[in-house]
DNA sequence: GATGAATGAGGATTCATTCAT
DNA sequence: AATGAATGAATCCTCATTCAT
């Protein structure tokens, strides 16, 4: 029941945002006959939104926790990026939900996002600080943000790509392609490209 | 008057999205005492939103048109990327407006975005197709989208960065840093990096 | 229009109190097809309530201002009490409205009542301080309150009297009787009774 | 449990009236986690209200029954008025509750009040009919109502007195003063004033 | 005797929009 | 070109109440 509500709300919020969704609509989508029931499970719309976010982000948090020190750095021994892309591809609304949350930030939301995402950011930064590439320490926040946008932007903005590129971003072929693209792109950025070539002095480039 | 309305609406829509903004709020922000006046200038809310979008995107279109065949490819002779970043930094709500428009796509909006953005995309693709790097033709839509997200994501998601990274994304120092970061990142991705270090055998690194 | 709303609201609030009245009901009673129109004239329910109170109390304020230094002290040369009773009898909902306002006091309401009623109280106190009777200065607030309750209580609690006493408090005969009663009672309390009868034998008068 | 509910409900109804109080609020105030429990003890909101009223009025009924034929007539041998004032002062919400009940009269309530209060009224009338003072038989309902308002009005409208007179009506000093005031006022009205002073020149005392 | 869940009706308020001025 | 007024529909949320446990 609570889960059904969260499911319905997740779909709705991802698709139309906090302001664009009505409690009536969520109730209907959840198979409830009445909006009042929503308020039995969640204090108000904002609380429901935050619960949706928290539940939606949990798997990502877990996934990155599993990855440990390697973060999303691509490489044969680290499946984290693959897994992340797979997960995002299987949950097409998740990227949109996160993107929405960034834009719709209210005070409360900001708190929630901060609580959930800041640890991720801090760990991610640690990983990046070991990366090669032309990056100075002051670049790292920009680099972290850039990777975030590269990874999540594809699914978040899928409809746009559909429209301007006549490209179905969710097709299996496109998802596979996006996985390869992301790996290569991250490798290019972090200097951790699969060792296609040996750096001149034998030191790994990163 | 019309411009004042557009200004107010642009701020509002960028900040809270189509559904999150009321005609009353826009009228108030524009200094009008009555919402009815809005309907003298724009047929309805949707039309106002589209006018805002169109006006907001025009400078970007012009800027990219000016860049011509070089697109955003970084290099000493191409100031387009610098100009774009400067423009986005000076119009902090613009990136958010565009990101919103992507997410809020309705039928009508989709049409507008398609009309405006598709030519840009097509030209951009042409430019990218000449890029170096490990990209096959089928990667190009992914690469184009990736660049788009890299560039616009920084300003669109500024508040998030603020919160998790304790970083003021709009400070002059941060903007300058982002400009350099973007150049370097695009260079890494497109293989047009200024030859900061020479690959041992003279072959471009990617 | 505004006046029609105030009329409807006055009737409703007097009869059922702030919480007991719905904006929908007021709109209907005012002949409006829609509650939304109420909000064109009054910011919210509370503001409407306060406007009703202010308008309702104004005649009383004026009446007492006219009475000047004599206040409500009964006597052949001071028609104020008669006029007040007449006015209250002609506006049966007014006493109830005031009684309601006393009970329903919220922060805002308290402010309104204070603004309107405090000057009346201060002036009334001055009048009473000249009264005869067994009153010490510290009795005066109690005396003022007592007179207030004597005067307004009759109409405010009319339904109760109807029920327990099988008495129609609004009938002309009853109103006339109440006028005489009030005069006599105030006279007894303030020591200014018209010398209606001389205790013939020194026996206690009552 | 039942008593705890009645306590909570009494406080709530006295403070905000029947319409201003929610079953949820009462349950919370009674320490219950769920409104459903209320319905185990009382059929519905109206029944709860009536139970509160009945329980609240019982001590007053008892007190007046004890007073017997003397009613509230003040005098050294009759402590009823003192007791009543003490009781009202100790139960500050009771006067408000009664005043509310008068104003909120619904059909059902009217029945309850009638059942409880009419015997009191009838007995009171009998007592008053023996009173001295300038009262004719037809004055008696007015006199009875007047006494009622004098006595109950002070506590019912305490907040108003607080606001306009900067007077704490519940302070021990004020309560003591009110007791003396009421005695004196009733004495004045009923003609049973202790012969405190002899009019020095045969002129009416006021 | 208490509670969690559900629900229909209704609460206040805001919405986008229109019309007369 | 701007405004005040009006309105139907929708907003979020709370209401009193019921039922199964």
CA distance linking residue B157 with residue B154, whole number of Å: 6
Measured torsion, CA atoms of residues A21, A25, A26, A32, in degrees rounded to the nearest 10: 170
Question: Which residue from B90, D161, B149 is spatially nearest to A156, judged by alpha carbons?
Answer: B149
CA distance linking residue A25 with residue A3, whole number of Å: 16
CA distance linking residue B52 with residue B73, whole number of Å: 28
Q: Which CATH number fits domain B45-190: 1.10.357, 1.10.3470, 3.40.50, 2.120.10?
A: 1.10.357
Is pLDDT above 80 for C199? Answer: no
Which residue is associated with the tokens 């826009």? B26
Domain A53-190, CATH: 1.10.357
**Confidence (pLDDT) at C198:** 37
Characterize C95-124 residue by residue with b for buried, 16 or more Cβ atoms within 10 angstroms of its Cβ, and e for exposed: bbbbbbbbbbbeeebbebbbebbeebbebb
How confident is residue C116, by pLDDT bands cut at 50, 70 and 90?
confident
CA distance linking residue B91 with residue B68, whole number of Å: 23
**Confidence (pLDDT) at C165:** 86
Helix, strand or coil, per DSSP, at residue B121: helix
Q: What are phi and psi of C21, to 5 degrees?
A: -115, 140
CA distance linking residue C186 with residue D189, whole number of Å: 9
Residue nearest the C1' of E11 (CA based): C22
Q: What is the DSSP letter of A157?
A: T
- CA–C1' gap, B44 and E17, in angstroms: 8
Half-sphere exposure (Cβ direction) of D25: Cα atoms closer than 13 Å: 14
**Confidence (pLDDT) at B198:** 36
Share of chain C above pLDDT 90, in %: 51
Cβ distance A185 to B96 less than 8 Å, yes or no, reads no
CA distance linking residue B176 with residue B185, whole number of Å: 14
Question: Which residue from C58, C175, C63, C191 is spatially nearest to C124, judged by alpha carbons?
Answer: C63
Cβ distance A114 to B164 less than 8 Å, yes or no, reads yes
**Confidence (pLDDT) at C79:** 86
CA distance linking residue D78 with residue D71, whole number of Å: 8
Over chain B, what is the mean pLDDT? 85
Average of per-residue pLDDT across C52-78: 83
CA distance linking residue D164 with residue C118, whole number of Å: 5
Residues 6+ apart with CB under 8 A from D95: D88, D152, D153, D154, D155, D156, D158
pLDDT digits (tens, 9 = 90+) for D152-197: 999 999 988 888 888 899 999 999 999 999 989 998 898 754 433 3
* Lowest-pLDDT choice from A20-34, B181-195, C42-56: B181-195
How confident is residue B108, by pLDDT bands cut at 50, 70 and 90?
low
Is pLDDT above 50 for B204? Answer: no
Helix (H) or strand (E) holding C41: helix C38-41
Cβ distance C157 to D149 less than 8 Å, yes or no, reads yes
Report for B153-157, C129-133, C164-168: range of highest mean pLDDT: B153-157
Helix (H) or strand (E) holding D14: helix D2-20
CA distance linking residue B149 with residue A153, whole number of Å: 6
Is pLDDT above 60 for D202? Answer: no
Give me the count of residues in chain B. 206
- Give the best residue of A21, A85, A122, A142 to mutate against chain B (max B CB count within 10 A): A142
Give me the count of residues in chain D. 206
On whether the CB atoms of residues B122 and B68 are closer than 8 A, the answer is no
**Closest partner CB to D139 (pick from C156, C177, C196):** C177
pTM metric for this prediction? 0.88
Is pLDDT above 50 for C191? Answer: yes
- CA–C1' gap, D190 and E15, in angstroms: 63
Share of chain B above pLDDT 70, in %: 91
3-state SS string for chain C = CHHHHHHHHHHHHHHHHHHHCCHHHHHHHCCCCCHHHHHHHCCCHHHHHHHHHHHHHHHHHHHHHHHHHHCCCCCCCCCHHHHHHHHHHHCHHHHHHHHHHHHCCCHHHHHHHHHHHHHHHHHHHHHHCCCCCCCCHHHHHHHHHHHHHHHHHHHHCHHHHHHHHCCCCCCHHHHHHHHHHHHHHHHHHHCCCCCCCCCCCCCCCC
pLDDT in tens, chain A (206 residues): 899 999 999 999 999 999 999 999 999 999 999 999 999 999 999 999 999 999 999 998 888 888 877 777 777 778 888 888 899 999 989 999 999 998 887 776 778 788 888 888 888 888 888 777 789 989 999 999 999 999 999 999 998 888 888 889 999 999 999 999 999 999 889 875 443 333 444 444 33
On whether the CB atoms of residues C150 and C185 are closer than 8 A, the answer is yes
Residues of B in contact with A144 (CB under 8 A): 165
Average of per-residue pLDDT across B175-190: 91
**Closest partner CB to A157 (pick from B145, B163, B178):** B145
DSSP B26-56: HHHHTT-S-GGGHHHH-SSHHHHHHHHHHHH
Which residue is associated with the tokens 């009795």? C139
Is pLDDT above 60 for C98? Answer: yes
Is pLDDT above 90 for D142? Answer: yes
**Confidence (pLDDT) at D193:** 47
CA distance linking residue C64 with residue C147, whole number of Å: 14
CA distance linking residue D157 with residue D169, whole number of Å: 9
Q: Which nt sits closest to D41, CA to C1'?
A: E1
CA distance linking residue A63 with residue A83, whole number of Å: 8
Question: Which residue from D82, D55, D79 is spatially nearest to D68, judged by alpha carbons?
Answer: D79
Give me the count of residues in chain A. 206
Question: Which residue from B161, B162, B118, B164 is spatially nearest to B141, judged by alpha carbons?
Answer: B118
Helix, strand or coil, per DSSP, at residue D139: helix
The domain ranges of chain C are 45-190
CA distance linking residue D186 with residue B155, whole number of Å: 79
On whether the CB atoms of residues C163 and C148 are closer than 8 A, the answer is no
Residues 6+ apart with CB under 8 A from B113: A160, A163, A164, B53, B101, B102, B105
* Lowest-pLDDT choice from C48-52, D45-49, D124-128: D124-128
More confident residue, C77 or A83: A83
How confident is residue B200, by pLDDT bands cut at 50, 70 and 90?
very low
**Which strand F bases fall within 7 angstroms of a protein CB?**
1-20
Residues of A in contact with B182 (CB under 8 A): 142
CA distance linking residue D24 with residue D9, whole number of Å: 11
Question: Which residue from A166, A200, C102 is spatially nearest to D158, judged by alpha carbons?
Answer: C102
On whether the CB atoms of residues A181 and A167 are closer than 8 A, the answer is no
Half-sphere exposure (Cβ direction) of D67: Cα atoms closer than 13 Å: 23
pLDDT digits (tens, 9 = 90+) for B2-18: 999 999 999 999 999 99
Q: Helices C158-165 and D140-156: crossing angle, nearest 10°? A: 130
On whether the CB atoms of residues D48 and D38 are closer than 8 A, the answer is yes
Cβ distance C193 to D206 less than 8 Å, yes or no, reads yes
Q: Which CATH number fits domain D56-190: 1.10.357, 3.10.450, 1.10.10, 3.10.20?
A: 1.10.357
Half-sphere exposure (Cβ direction) of D88: Cα atoms closer than 13 Å: 29
**Confidence (pLDDT) at A192:** 56
Handedness of CA D13, D18, D21, D24 (dihedral sign): positive
CA D132 to chain CA centroid, nearest Å? 24
- The pair of structure tokens assigned to D52 is 């509160």
- The pair of structure tokens assigned to B161 is 């960065």
**Confidence (pLDDT) at A200:** 43
Average of per-residue pLDDT across D64-84: 80
Is pLDDT above 70 for C200? Answer: no
Measured torsion, CA atoms of residues A128, A130, A133, A134, in degrees rounded to the nearest 10: 90
End-to-end C-alpha distance for chain C, whole angstroms: 55
Over chain C, what is the mean pLDDT? 85
Q: Find the residue in C nearest to D137 (Cα).
A: C177
Footprint of strand E on the protein (CB under 7 A): A 1-2, 32-37, 40-41; B 21-25, 35-36, 39, 44-46; C 21-25, 35-36, 39, 44-46; D 1, 32-37, 40-41
**Confidence (pLDDT) at B192:** 57
Residues of C in contact with D100 (CB under 8 A): 103
């Amino acid at each position: 029941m609570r889960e059904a509500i969260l499911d319905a709300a997740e779909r709705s919020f991802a698709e139309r945002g906090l302001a664009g969704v009505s409690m009536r609509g969520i109730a209907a989508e959840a198979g409830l006959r009445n909006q009042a029931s929503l308020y039995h499970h969640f204090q108000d719309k904002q609380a429901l939104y935050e619960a949706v976010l928290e539940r939606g982000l949990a798997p990502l948090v877990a996934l990155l926790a599993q990855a440990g020190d390697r973060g999303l750095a691509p490489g044969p021994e680290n499946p984290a990026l693959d897994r992340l892309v797979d997960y995002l591809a299987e949950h097409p609304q998740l990227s949109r939900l996160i993107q929405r949350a960034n834009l719709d930030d209210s005070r409360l939301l900001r708190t929630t996002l901060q609580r959930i995402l800041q640890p991720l950011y801090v760990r991610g930064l640690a990983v990046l600080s070991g990366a090669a590439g032309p990056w100075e320490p002051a670049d790292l926040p920009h680099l972290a943000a850039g990777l975030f946008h590269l990874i999540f932007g594809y699914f978040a903005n899928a409809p746009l790509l559909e429209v301007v590129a006549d490209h179905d971003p969710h097709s299996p072929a496109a998802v596979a392609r996006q996985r390869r693209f992301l790996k290569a792109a991250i490798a290019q950025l972090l200097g951790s490209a699969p060792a296609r070539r040996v750096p001149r002095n034998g030191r790994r480039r990163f």
